[in-house]
């Protein structure tokens, strides 16, 4: 038997005897970071004041919400080889609130920031020795709105000195699906998609040039219901 053949046989034997690298196991912590895009599937109630249309009889004033990209941060604790608890976070998203209905969509009426912490129970169907790890999850989203600001465009359209926007926080269902592909025992690539049920009750207060309160719109619902997309890197420890 040649020396080369013996070395090949020994190498093959060692590879066969070596344990398979474990992708995800119970007790693992998994951190993921990457780019997140939030794309609202938005709609809103008609905006009224005292039951009357905001812009006069026969008009339909609504709002729309644009998308945004931010740094996404996700963490999972594996309860078992197949189930984990996942948390989604991100740097604050900033959205322009534009016209809708009979208000031109190119008019920026306001802006807001929000944080969308989301908690899900995740299921990983494949064995822990698979480098490719798809998963699906279901849970709850809590969206916090802050730094709401209206624009001079809105004030001018309403003929008022200033205005204030108020948005209530939202709690709703969240669904997710995605995968990780582990390049080695600790590092990998990931991609995921979420849908979240995000609805907020909104109202606008208006003031005259001297800062005196004039009126407030009736509370109207804005549905965001965004699709959330993320691609990034995975680190397991």
In the chain, what percentage of residues exceed pLDDT 70? 91
* CATH number, span 21-236: 2.40.160.20
What is the pLDDT at residue 2? Answer: 52
In the chain, what percentage of residues exceed pLDDT 90? 77
118 pLDDT above the threshold of 60: yes
146-183 pLDDT, tens digit per residue, is 999 999 999 988 889 999 999 999 999 999 999 999 99
The domain limits of the chain are 21-236
Q: Is the dihedral of CA 105, 65, 67, 191 positive or negative?
A: negative
Would you list the DSSP string of 34-63? EEEEEE---EEPPPEETTEETTSTT--EEE
123 pLDDT above the threshold of 70: yes
In which residue are the tokens 């038997």 written?
1
Pairing of strands 48-49, 68-78: unpaired
pTM comes to: 0.82
What is the pLDDT at residue 15? Answer: 40
């Amino acid at each position: 038997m040649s020396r080369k053949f013996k070395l090949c046989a020994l190498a093959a034997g060692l590879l066969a005897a070596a344990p398979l690298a474990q992708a995800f196991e119970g007790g693992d912590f998994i951190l993921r970071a990457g780019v997140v895009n939030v794309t609202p599937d938005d709609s809103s109630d008609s905006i009224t004041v005292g039951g009357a249309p905001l812009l006069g009889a026969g008009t339909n004033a609504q709002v729309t919400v644009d998308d945004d990209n931010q740094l996404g941060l996700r963490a999972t604790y594996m309860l078992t080889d197949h189930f984990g608890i996942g948390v989604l976070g991100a740097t604050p998203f900033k959205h322009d609130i534009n016209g809708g209905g009979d208000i031109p969509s190119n008019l920026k009426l306001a802006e807001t920031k929000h944080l969308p912490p989301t908690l899900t129970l995740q299921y990983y169907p494949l064995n822990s020795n698979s480098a490719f790890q798809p998963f699906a999850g279901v849970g709850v989203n809590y969206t916090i709105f802050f730094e709401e600001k209206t624009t001079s465009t809105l004030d001018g359209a309403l003929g008022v000195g200033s205005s204030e926007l108020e948005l209530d926080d939202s709690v709703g269902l969240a669904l997710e699906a995605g995968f990780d592909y582990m390049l080695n025992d600790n590092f990998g690539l990931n991609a995921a998609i979420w849908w979240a049920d995000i609805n907020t009750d909104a109202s606008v207060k208006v003031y005259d040039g001297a800062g005196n309160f004039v009126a407030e719109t009736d509370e109207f619902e804005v549905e965001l219901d965004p699709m959330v997309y993320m691609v990034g890197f995975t680190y397991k420890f």
